[in-house]
Amino acid sequence: MSAAIRISALGTAIGITLDDTISPDASLHVAQIWESASIDGDLPVEATLSAGLAPRPSDASAVTASDVESLAAMLSTRVTLAAIEKRKSELVMLHACGVALPDGGVVAFVGPSGRGKTTLARNVAQHFSYITDETVGIDISGGVHPYRKPLSVITDETKPHIKTQIPPEQLGLLPLGSEPLRIAAIVLLERDAEHEGPPTAEPVSLRDAILGVVPELSYLPELPQPLQRLAGLLDQVGGVSRLHYREAADVADVVPQLVKQPAQSGWTVVPTVDLDEHVPTGDYARAATLDVLDLGAEYLFLSGRNVHVLDGIGPAIWDALDEPKDLSRVTDAVVARHGAPEGAHPEALVEAALNALSTEGLVRRGS
C-alpha cells in the first residue's frame, strides 16, 4: 500500500507518493526525515513525485533508487527543483541557508555549493529558527517562505559524495517562531581558514552585491523587471554584507549585527526603447535586454542570464543608441558627453567599445 507525504517548500505544497516497493518501516523513515516541512490541511498539492525502489532511472515525475538512503537523497534534490520550478516567476530565490531571529527577521547566507551553507545552518540554527539550508524564497513584499528540508550531511568523510538526509530537529535546530517571516539581511559568505578573531562583516557596493548575488539566484530572468526587483530587495535590507569567518560555530554571535536599516542606494532605471528589427547597413543598434540599471557612473544590464557592467564611455554609447546610428554619430554623442580624449582618435576608441559590446551581445550592427 502506498504512503503519501505533503511538504511545504517555498510556499508551495509538494506531494511525495511512496509506492509498494518501500516497506512500512522505510516509509516511516522517509516521512520522519521530512517532518519539519510536512503539512496537513487543505493546501492544494501543486506537484507530486512518486518514489520507489527500482533499477530503472528516474524520470520527470518518478524518483527511483536501489536503496532507501539513496532515494532519500534524490528526493531532497527533486523536491527542491519542483518547488523552485513552481515559484520561478514569483519569488527571488537565493541559493542560501537562512535563519530567523525572534522577531521574524530572516538572515540569508548566500554562497555557491561547497561554501559551507549546511555546516553554517547546523551551527547557527541551534540559536535561531531554522529556515533552510538550500533556498531562501522572498516574495515581492519581503516575506520569506521557509523550506525546512532535511539537511544533506556528509557522515562518512571517506565517502564525501554520499550525503545523509537528517531532519533538523535531530540536529537540535530550532523550530519556527510565531512571528511572520520577512527578509532582514542578505550576506555573502567568505570562509577563510586564515581569518583571525571573531567573524567580521564588510559592506558591499550595489554593483558588487548584484554581481555576487546573481549567480546564486534561481530563475532571475523569469521575474518581471528582474534587476529592479533585486535592487529594490537589496535596498530593503540595507544593502549586502560580506562575512569573513573561519569557524561556523562563531557566526551565531554576530547574526543580530548583520541586520541593518533600509537604505536607498541611488540606482535608477535606464529607459527602454522600441528596438528596430532592421538595422541599416553599417549602423549600430541596441540588442534586447531584460533590464538595465543606472548606478551613476555605470550601467548594469541583465541579458539572458548574464549581468554585464558598462563603465567608462559605455553608458554614453548606450544612450546614444536610442535609435540606430552610424559610428560617426555615436562618436559625436560620446565626445559631447565626455570630451575629446588626449592623444587618441575618439572614433577609434568608440569603435573598439562598440565591437566589445557587440561581442557581449549588447549591440547589433546592420549588414
Report the CATH number at residue 144: 3.40.50
pLDDT at 91 over 90: yes
* Statement to judge: residues 66 and 134 lie in one domain: no
Query: 264-314 pLDDT, tens per residue?
Result: 778 999 998 989 889 999 999 999 999 999 999 999 999 989 999 999 999
235 and 325 share a domain?
Answer: no
pLDDT tens digits for range 21-47: 999 999 999 999 999 999 986 678 999
Residue 246 to residue 244: CA distance in whole angstroms: 7
Picking from 197, 227, 258, the residue at the C-terminal end of a domain is 258
Whether 155 and 278 share a structural domain: no
Domain boundary among 54, 86, 118: 86
Question: Does 153 reside within a domain?
Answer: yes
Other C-beta atoms closer than 10 Å to the C-beta of 325 total 19
98 in the same domain as 188? yes
| Nearest Cα to Cα of residue 108 among 215, 9, 204, 181 | 181
Hey, is 340 helix, strand or coil? coil
Phi, psi of 190 (to 5 degrees): -140, 85
DSSP run (H or E) holding 291:
strand 291-294
Q: What is the pLDDT of residue 163?
A: 84
Q: In sequence order, what are the residues at sequence separation of 6 or more whose Cβ sits closer than 8 angstroms to the Cβ of residue 280?
A: 324, 366
Cβ contact 259:184 at 8 Å: yes
Identify the domain containing residue 254 by its residue range.
92-258
Give 212-268 pLDDT, tens digit per residue: 999 999 999 999 999 999 999 999 999 999 999 999 999 999 999 999 888 877 899
Distinct helix (H) and strand (E) counts, the chain: 8, 21
Looking at the 3D structure of the chain, how many domains does it have? 3
**Could you tell me if residue 263 is inside a domain?**
no
Each residue's pLDDT tens digit, 53-67: 987 666 667 899 989
Measure the CA dihedral 173/130/151/239, to 10°.
-140
Task: Tell me, yes or no, whether 286 and 348 share the same domain.
Answer: yes
Whether 187 and 325 share a structural domain = no
Q: For residues 263 and 94, which has the higher predicted lDDT (pLDDT)?
A: 94
Residue 186 in any domain: the answer is yes
Other C-beta atoms lying within 10 Å of the C-beta of residue 99? 28
> What pLDDT does residue 3 have?
59
The pLDDT value recorded for residue 57 is 64
The reported pLDDT for the residue numbered 2 is 54
Look up the CATH number of the domain holding residue 314: 3.90.930
pLDDT band (50, 70, 90) for residue 353 = very high
Based on the domain organization, do 223 and 80 belong to the same domain? Answer: no
166-to-66, 153, 171, 333, 367 alpha-carbon distances in Å: 19, 7, 7, 61, 60
Pairing label, strands 135-138, 144-145: antiparallel
| Whether residue 172 is found in the same domain as residue 303 | no
Looking at the structure, do residues 217 and 345 belong to the same domain, yes or no?
A: no
pTM over 0.75: yes
Which H/E stretch holds residue 315?
helix 314-320
In whole angstroms, give the CA distance from residue 258 to residue 96. Answer: 15
Same domain, 135 and 161: yes
The three cell numbers locating residue 342: 588626449
Is it the case that residue 335 has pLDDT exceeding 90?
Answer: yes
Calpha distance 262→197 (Å, rounded): 28
Q: What is the pLDDT of residue 103?
A: 98
Q: Name every residue whose Cβ is closer than 8 Å to that of residue 49 and which is 6 or more positions away in sequence.
A: 14, 15, 16, 17, 61, 62, 63, 75, 78, 79, 82
Alpha carbon distance 132, 243 (integer Å): 19
Same domain, 100 and 229: yes
Domain boundary residue, one of 258, 291, 322: 258
